[in-house]
Structures are given as structure tokens and as C-alpha cells.
Structure 1
Amino acid sequence: MMYAPVEFSETAYPRTEYHRRQQQFWDPIRLSLFTLAIAAIVGITIGIVTHFVVEDDKSFYYLASFQVTNIKYKENYGMRSSREFIERSHQIERMMSRMFRRSSGMGRFIKSHVIKISPDEQGVNILMVLMFRYPSTDSVERIKKKIETTLYQSLKIKQLPLTIYKPSFSLTPIDSKKMRNLLNSRCGIRMSSSNMPLPASSTTERIVQGRETAMEGEWPWQASLQLIGAGHQCGATLISNTWLLTAAHCFWKNRDPSKWIATFGTTITPPLVKRSVGKIIIHENYHRESNENDIALAQLTTRVEFSNVVQRVCLPDSSMKLPPKTSVFVTGFGSIVDDGPTQNKLRQARVETIGTDVCNRKDVYDGLITPGMLCAGFMEGKVDACKGDSGGPLVYDNRDIWYIVGIVSWGQSCALPNKPGVYTRVTKYRDWITSKTGI
């Protein structure tokens, strides 16, 4: 059924004329009150302007290096996507957050990110970025001294889970470009145009029932896969500077990589970045009839440069498990109604994971959900991925680091009650991805 646009015409409302009493407005009392009001407004305006001039906050970045003596190095610390690196880096970041946020004068601490964990004779060496906000009138060296003082006081007074060897601690001021380059070695980090971390999005709507993505850099791993001459076909997710993860069914009609391009950015037209596709790898056991093993990889002919607006997502460890009702986000350029047109602007939705036992109920998908599939949405429907979102990411936020946990695969229509979206479960294919890409 086609829905015609509703036309609105101006209603001829009757106009009511109000008669005003003629009187002299500028009597002495009113003039005095008016003058006082103007003075108050001017005073408040000057105060606000002064506040923002004085409190014109600026971002300051530091590279911290130190030795931790009460843990031993593990080989997997060298792999930033490993569970060991992720868990240890989260522990270190939480410790830094507690130290700086609870200390007087350090309320402007924003975030920290572990960049590297390397072996040392006495334990491990940690390299991490620290981010702060201070008035632009503050100097880099003065803030550095504040940070060092806070850290040394914490080492003396507080019971910390990790033992930092004080003489090993060094702090180096870095600019935003150096900071961004360091963070590019970490996956799944979203940054705003002002080089500050983006908080987890809290919208509850999108795709079918939704809103457009708010800003560049909100979902920097989202790609659009397009057939030359035919436009957008599927979504895809950047997992390295050359590899995209997507759904096998996207290439069912055309597997020739020379016919495909990938674009990045929050709009299809104009694209922010455009790349040709050089290789397509479809899972060897993909079955179109059952939707099993609906996963594929596309390799770009030219690498992309990571930035605030183009960035890779993290691949989960194969052991990662998400309980039912976990909040996750799906993004894409697909239609917002069943069989509707592709959207030029990227859209997003918060959905929730649904247990396989529920999804396999007779009134839902009646046993069609296999271990390589993941259901997400709402049992009442209304919010869902739809046609054109296929191949795109379902992502999960773990302490502001984002992981791809699903690939938009299939579903009965869009946003129907008891028919949630079905996604390829990425953890099930973690080893397959590594075998093809080395990631």
C-alpha cells in the first residue's frame, strides 16, 4: 500500500481584535523599573560572557609510562583484541579513573586508554594516554605537575590493586594529532571532532521507528557496500584499515569485486571516503535457504586512514557472551518501513538481545535459530533493522570500547511483534575471520 503525503492547508481562523487603553507608558516609576531591568540584563550578560571567556576549556593530553610490579606478562597482552589485554587494560583504566576523579583539583579528568602492555623483568610496562579538560589559560607544565602530585599522593595513601613502581613513572605532553595516532592502535573508540570521547548513545529509536545519527564519528566503522551503477546494497563494518565484515547474502547475485565499491561517512551521497573492493570472501558453508553461516569479508584495494570519522570496530573474543536484554545498537542506511527506499543518512537504533530459547519458540521463529545466529530487538516489535541494513553491524559498548557482536542477516518483514531481527553471531566466527584476514 502506498502512503500519499498529507497536505496541510491554512485554516481560516477568525481574528479577534483587542482594544487597548491609551495611557502614558513612560511615567517616572516605569522608567526607573525599565532602567533597572536593562542594567540587570546587561550585568548578567557580561557575567555569562566573562564566565565562558575565563572558563574556555581546552583539552590536554599526556602519554603516561610506568612499570607495574605485581603482575606477570602474558603473551596475549601483545594482542589488543585478546580477552587478557582487554580485561587488564580495563583494570588499569578504572584505577586511573578512581585516582584522578576522587582527588581534589583533578575533577577535570576525562578518560584514559591503555595503548600497550609490554614485558619487563620486574613485571610489565604500561603505556597509556590520559585526557583532561582545563581552562585554556592553564599551562601544559602546570597541569603536568598537578597530575604527578595526584599520582604520587595516591601511591602513598590509597590501597591500589596494582603496584606502580614510582621511579618508573613518566609523563609527556602530546598534541591532539599524536593522541589520535596512538588511539588508532586501539579499536572501537569513538571521538568527537574536538578529539574528546563520545559517550555511549542513549537513543531508543531508529531504522524502523527511528532517528538519524547525530554527528560524524558516532559510528565511524559503518560502511555502505554499493554496486557500481546500482547504488547502495548492504551495510558493512570496518575491522581493519583494509577489511570489511558483512553478510554473505549481500553477494548472492554478484560476487565480482570489481563491480563493488565501499563508502564511509554518515551519508551515502556525498560520501566522506570511497574505496574500490579488491577481494570478496564468502563463508564456504553459507546456505541461502536456512541463512546459516551468513558471513563474508570484503578487502579494499586501498587502505583507509583512521580518523575521528573513519575507525575500526573491535572484534569480540570468541568467549564473549551477552545475556538476554543486553543493550546493543544497530545502524544502517536501510528502509524505515518494509520495502521502503534506502535512506541517504545513517540511522541508528537501540535494541536488546533476545535468548535463543525465546527466539526458537513456535510463535517466534519455530526452531530456525542456529548457534551461529543471534536475535535482537523487542518482542513487541516496532524497532528493528530492515531491507538495506543487511550486512551492517550490531555493536555492544563495554566501557566506551565498541565490539561488533552481530551482522544484520534476516527476519520476517520488519519490526513485527514476535519477529525480532536475526543477526550472524560474530563470536561463533571469530576463528574463521582470523583464518582469512589474520586479524
Structure 2
Amino acid sequence: VIYKYQECVQGSGQNYRGTKSVTKSGSRCLSWDSPAVKRKLNNAWRSDALELGLGSHNNSLNRPAFRIFGGRQSDITDQPWQAAINVYQPRRRQHFHRCGGVLIDSCWVLSAATLDKADRLEVILGRTFRKQNSSSEQIFKVEKYWIHEKFDNETFDNDIALLKLKTDVGICAVNSPEVLPACLPEPGLVLPSWTECEISGLWKRQRIEVMSACGPMSAASQKCCLDAQLPPNMLCAGDTRGLDDACKGDSGGPLVCRNNDRMTLMGVISWGDGCGQRDKPGVYTRVTNYISWINGKIKANPVL
């Protein structure tokens, strides 16, 4: 077996930041919150542990594709379904950015599968700048969320989660120019080659949008996706020149594509090999494979 360089351990392995949790000999790695690693560089007690994906697990859930690379700054009205998911850190008594999300209905947000406890999460809609309040923003607590039952935290297969926003009045997000739900696709929808698509995310003080082509990709890009042995629940998309991509900070955000003059949610940002590398497109959870799962959760958990 030939492993990519990201999966290789250097030296003692104390600084390993890959996704594997079992050694070649079959031994399980220590969890990041194990007392044995409390004095090591990487541990769950670091102030930036959440951003680095360090917690009560023994692999790194900090995806290689977690922030927009390239692209242009844009206003939230260009992507009004973009959500920011923050997590509260009790020790520092404030919220920190965890990942992106996509509003799909008034009280429902899609995201990636790596989340913290529901009572620590907040969802911000309608904000262009991540750290700058806006009169158009709408902020919600999370009542509950569901991570897909078959999520694999090593391969990121089924990398999707559904969040239910908390409300006492039977409605959550109110439609406005800054806040609108993305359209869900029909199950099995396949778009034509070179469909116009966009990915978006929030990072530092700016919101960034990039243009992306859904395909056909170059032969090298297709080979890259095949080499990664992607399951059918994932799709590749990206600018094959390596100019636009998602990397650290945006997992869970939207890949929306034009379909009959409507921007339709085709993917959720999942992972990738580096940032903006030529012929190495980003990998997204294929939303068309989860319509029944999404609708089933919403129907079984009505907003009261």
C-alpha cells in the first residue's frame, strides 16, 4: 500500500496531523485528551484545539480542505444561504468559528459531520464578515443535530450533518436579501458538463466566494479523483488551473450550481489534497444521495 505524504508519520509521531487512528501493527493511537499527551505540543487543552480538530478522539478531524483559496470577496447577498457555525469554549468564555453550513429551510442547516455538543453551538446567518456584527444577521442556538449514521471519520464517507435551529415561535430564519435557503436538488440529479458552480466560506474578517467548474475536468484531475478511490457519496469539483479551492476553515459550506436559473445545492465542502493545487480538485459530499435522509429527519422532528 502506498500512502500519500499526509498520512505518513515523521519522527516519534507526536506531531502527526493525519486522519489515521490505528498504527500499521494494529495499535490504537492515544486520544488528544489523554493525560499522557497533556504536555505534548498537540493536545485537546490547547486554546486553538477546536480549530486544529483536537478533542476526545484519536485522529485528526481537521480536514485538509477547510478554507477558501483564491476567489474574490463578496457580499452575503451573493450567497445568502451561507452559515457560520461557531462553538462556545467555556474556558475562554467566547465563541470561535468551527465550520461553515448551508441554510436549507427556516430551521434547518446542513454541514459537515464534525461538530461539538449541540448546546455549545450557534449558527450565524446574514453576516458578510465573520468577526463583524451586522444589522442583517440572524443568530440561533442549535436544538439538536444529526450526523449521518454511517459517517466514516477516516475516509470522510457520508460526511454530512443536519442541524435543527432552536425556536419558541415555530419559525427560525426569516427570509431577507441576506438570508435565504438554498434549493435542494432532486434525488439523482446530474448536471451538464461545465455547469457554473460556486463555493463560499467565511475566514478571518472576510467572506470569500469562488467560481468553480463541475466538469468535465482535465484527465489529471479525473485521475486524481480516481486515485483517491472516492466512494459514490462524494464528488470532485474545482478550477483545474488550481486558482480556486476550499481549504482550512470552510468545511460544511456550500457548493451550489445553476440549474434551471436557480442555484441548487449539489455539494457540501468536505476535504481535499492541499489548497488550490493544479489538477487536484476539492472533494464534496454529494447532496443528491442524501435527500431521503434529510427529508426523513425533518419529517420525524417537526418544528413546533
Q: When the two structures are superposed, what TM-score results if normalisation uses the length of structure 1?
A: 0.48
Q: Distance in 2 between matches of 1:209 and 1:430?
A: 31
Structure 2: gaps (5+ residues): 1-66, 89-93
Number of matched pairs: 221
In 2, Cα distance between equivalents of 1:372 and 1:423: 9
| Higher Cα Rg, which structure | 1
Unaligned runs of 5+ in 1: 1-205, 334-341
**TM-score normalised per structure 2:** 0.68
- Which of residues 107, 110, 125 in structure 2 aligns to 1:242? 107
| Paired-residue identity, % | 37
Residue 222 of structure 1 aligns to which amino acid in structure 2? Answer: Q
1:427 aligns with 2:288: yes
Structure 1 residues 363 and 330: CA distance shift in structure 2, 3 A = closer
**Following superposition of structure 1 onto structure 2, how do residues 22-41 of structure 1 map, counting pairs within 5 Å?**
none
How is 1:238-387 mapped onto 2 (pairs within 5 angstroms)? 238-248=103-113, 250-251=114-115, 254=116, 256-264=117-125, 265-268=127-130, 269-271=132-134, 272-302=137-167, 303-333=172-202, 342-354=203-215, 361-364=222-225, 366-387=227-248
Q: Letter of the aligned partner of 2:235 in structure 1?
A: L
Mapped contact 1:208–1:386 kept (Cα < 8 A): yes
Q: Per the alignment, do residues 358 and 430 of structure 1 end up closer, same or farther by CA in structure 2, a change over 3 Å counting?
A: farther
Aligned counterparts of 1:242 and 1:318: Cα–Cα separation in 2:
22
Give the C-alpha shift of residue 358 in structure 1: 5.3
Contact 1:360/1:369 (8 A) holds in 2? no
Q: Using the alignment, how far apart are the partners of 2:270 and 2:219 within structure 1?
A: 18
Letter in 2 for 1:321: V
Q: Distance in 1 between matches of 2:223 and 2:80?
A: 38
1:37-436 aligned within 5 A: 207-213=68-74, 215-228=75-88, 229-248=94-113, 250-251=114-115, 254=116, 256-264=117-125, 265-268=127-130, 269-271=132-134, 272-302=137-167, 303-333=172-202, 342-354=203-215, 361-364=222-225, 366-436=227-297
SS for the counterpart of 1:239 is strand
3-state SS of the aligned residue for 1:346? strand
Give how far 1:308 is off.
Answer: 1.8
Rate the CA distance shift 1:230–1:359 in 2: closer, same or farther, 3 A.
farther
User: What SS class does the counterpart of residue 192 from structure 2 fall into?
Assistant: coil
The structure with the largest helix share of the pair is 1
Higher relative contact order (CA 8 A, sep 6+): 2
After the TM superposition, which parts of structure 1 deviate over 4 Å for at least 4 consecutive aligned residues? 355-365
Alpha-carbon RMSD across the aligned residues, in angstroms, is 2.2
